[in-house]
Amino acid sequence: MQIPTRLLDSWGLRYILTMQQRVNDDDEFTHLLSKNNKYNNKTLSSGGGGTPPTPARDDSAVDLNELTKQPNPYFEDIKQEAVAIINYTWPLLITFVVGKGMGLVDIWFLGRLGSEVMAVVSLGNLWSTVAGLAFGNGLLTAIDTLVSQAFTGASDPKTLGIILQRGIVIMGFLALPIWFLWIYTEPILINIMGQEQHLAHLTQTYIFIIMPLVYPVFISTAIRKFLQSLGHMRVTMMMILVIFPFNFLSNLLFLRVLDLGYIGAAFHFVFFHAAILAIYILFLSFGTKFWSDYWPGWRTQAFRNWEPFLKLGIPGMVSVSSEWAFEVCALLTGALGKTSLAGQSIILSVNSLLLMIPSALSNAVAVRVGHHAGANRPLKIQTCFNISLVIGCIAILFNASLMYFFKHQIASYFSIDNEVVQAAEHLMPVAVLSHIFTGLSAVFSATLNALGKQPVVAAFNISSYYAVGLPFGLWMTYSYDWGLIGVWSGVAMAGFIKCVGEGVLLFFVIDWEAECRRSSQRIGTQELTPDLPCVTATIVTSYNSNNNNSKVFNE
C-alpha cells in the first residue's frame, strides 16, 4: 500500500517518516539555544553555523509495511505538546475567571451608589479603553511574537530585554497623543457621541484623575506579555490572586468608607493598576533573574530599529477592532427596544464568560508556537497547532452544547421577565454559531500571530467583520425586520469567513520550514549589539620620554 508523504505531512505524521529530521528538543524553559545549536538538523543540513536548513519535500510514495517498522515518536510528541499546552492554559483561565470576578466586585460596589455614578464610570472606562488602552494592548502584541521567538532563537538572552525596552519606549510615544485626546473628552462626548453635558462633564473629571496612569498601564501590560512569552503563565495568575483582596478593600475604602462616588472609583482605578505594576516589578526583582539574565541596562538600541516591532504591532492594533464587534452589536440593539437590549445583554454575558476558554488556549498556543519557531522546529509547530485545534474544538463544542441545550435555564437565571427570556432563547442558536466560529478563529489567529502574521490577521478582521459581516447584519435587521437575529447573523457570518480564511491559510498555504527561516531573520534584526557611548571623541597624544609612554585621553 502506497501513501503520499504530503498527505501524512498534513497531519504531522511526517515524524514517523523522518526520525533523522527531529530537532534537538532542548528545554526552552531553562535556557536559550545558542546560535550554533539552533539549527542542529544533521540530516537536512550538511553545513554548519546559523544557516537554517531547507528540508526537502517530495511526493514519493511510502510503503506502509515499512512505515510500521519504524520507531514511532509521534505519540510521544502529541503527549508532550498536549501537556505543555494544558500547563500553559489553565493558569491563564484562572486569571481570566478571577479578573471577571473582580469586575463583578466593582459592579457590586458601584451599583449601590446610584445610576449616575455607574453611568459615569461605565462611560469613562469605555472611553479610556476605546480611545487609548486598547490601542496600546494591540501594539504590544509585537512582544508576543518577538519575545517568544527570541527566547529560543536569540544568541544572547539580553536580546529579550532590548525587545522589552523598545516596547516601553514606543509606548511612551503612544501615550502622548492619547493624553492629548483625553484632555478633550468632554467636547468629544458632547459633540460627536451626543452625550448629555452633565454626564460628559463628570466623565471628563473621571478621565483627568486616571490620565497619569496611561503609561504605567502600558508598562505593566508589556511586562505581563514579556513574562507570558517566556512561559511564566502562573505569574499573572498568582498576581491576580494576590491583588483580588486588595481590589475588594480598595473598593470598600474609596466607595463605602470615604464615600467619594465616581471620584472614588477613579482613585480605585489608579490604586489597582499601580499595585499591579508594583507587583510585577517586585516579582522581576526578587522572583526571577531578570536583571542579570535578560536586562542589558538601558541602551540606545531601544530607540533604533523600530520597524520590525511596528510592522507587527500596528496590525495588532488594528486587530483589536474585531473584538469590538460585540460592542457594536450592543449599540445597534439600543434602537430595537429595551427587551432586545436586555436579551442581548444576557447573550453577551454568557458568550464572554465561555470565550475565556478559547482565549486562554489561544494565548498558550501563541507562546508555544513562538518557542518552536525560534528554535527551528517546524514539525513541532505543526503538531502543536493540530493538538491545540483538537483541544479547542472539544472545549468550544462543549460550550456550544451548554448554550443551546440549556438556553431556557440560562436565560431564566439572568431575568424573570418572560419577554426578555424569550428574546434570549430566540437569539441563542445564532449566538452559538458565532461562539463556535469566534473560538476557532482565536486559535487560528494566535498561531498566525506567533508566526509574525499580524498583517494577515488584521486584513481578515477588517474584511470579514466590517466589510461583510456587520453591513450584512444591518441589512437583515432593517430591511427584513430580523431584529436581533439579523445583527447576530452578521457577526456569525463574519466569524465564519474569518475562520475559513485563516484555516485555509494554515492548512494549505503556510510553509512551516519557511516560517522558521523568517523567524530566524526576524530575531537577527533584534539581536543585542554593542552600544555606542554617548561621547566617542578620543584624543591621542604621544610624547618622547625616557620610558616612551603614550597617553590616551577619553572625553
The three three-digit cell numbers of residue 185, written as one number: 473628552
Please write the tens of the pLDDT for every residue from 91-107: 999 999 999 899 889 98
When pLDDT is cut at 50, 70 and 90, the band that residue 399 belongs to is very high
Residue 33 pLDDT more than 80?
no
CA angle 4, 6, 8 (to 5 degrees): 80
Please write the tens of the pLDDT for every residue from 129-148: 888 898 999 999 999 999 99
Please write the tens of the pLDDT for every residue from 313-355: 999 988 876 666 666 666 566 566 777 777 888 888 898 899 9
Can you tell me which residue has the cell 523598545?
A: 166
- Measured distance CA(6)–CA(14) in Å, rounded: 8
Phi, psi of 429 (to 5 degrees): -60, -40
The three three-digit cell numbers of residue 48, written as one number: 554548519
Please write the tens of the pLDDT for every residue from 6-20: 444 444 444 443 444
Contact partners, residue 533, CB within 8 Å, separation at least 6: none
Can you tell me which residue has the cell 542579570?
A: 292
Residue 37 pLDDT more than 70?
no
Strand partners, 541: 551
Please write the tens of the pLDDT for every residue from 46-95: 344 444 444 434 444 445 455 455 556 778 888 899 999 999 999 999 99
Closest CA to 399 of 343, 445, 437, 448: 437
Please write the tens of the pLDDT for every residue from 196-243: 899 999 999 999 999 999 999 999 999 999 999 999 999 889 989 999
- Measured distance CA(362)–CA(356) in Å, rounded: 10
SS (H, E, C) 424-479: HHHHHHHHHHHHHHHHHHHHHHHHHHHCCCHHHHHHHHHHHHHHHHHHHHHHHHHH
Closest CA to 376 of 37, 1, 7: 37
When pLDDT is cut at 50, 70 and 90, the band that residue 449 belongs to is very high
- Measured distance CA(120)–CA(448) in Å, rounded: 38
- Measured distance CA(120)–CA(126) in Å, rounded: 10
The predicted pLDDT at position 70 comes to 57
When pLDDT is cut at 50, 70 and 90, the band that residue 1 belongs to is very low
The three three-digit cell numbers of residue 109, written as one number: 460596589
- Measured distance CA(486)–CA(356) in Å, rounded: 25
The model's pTM is: 0.80
The predicted pLDDT at position 69 comes to 54
Strand partners, 62: 3
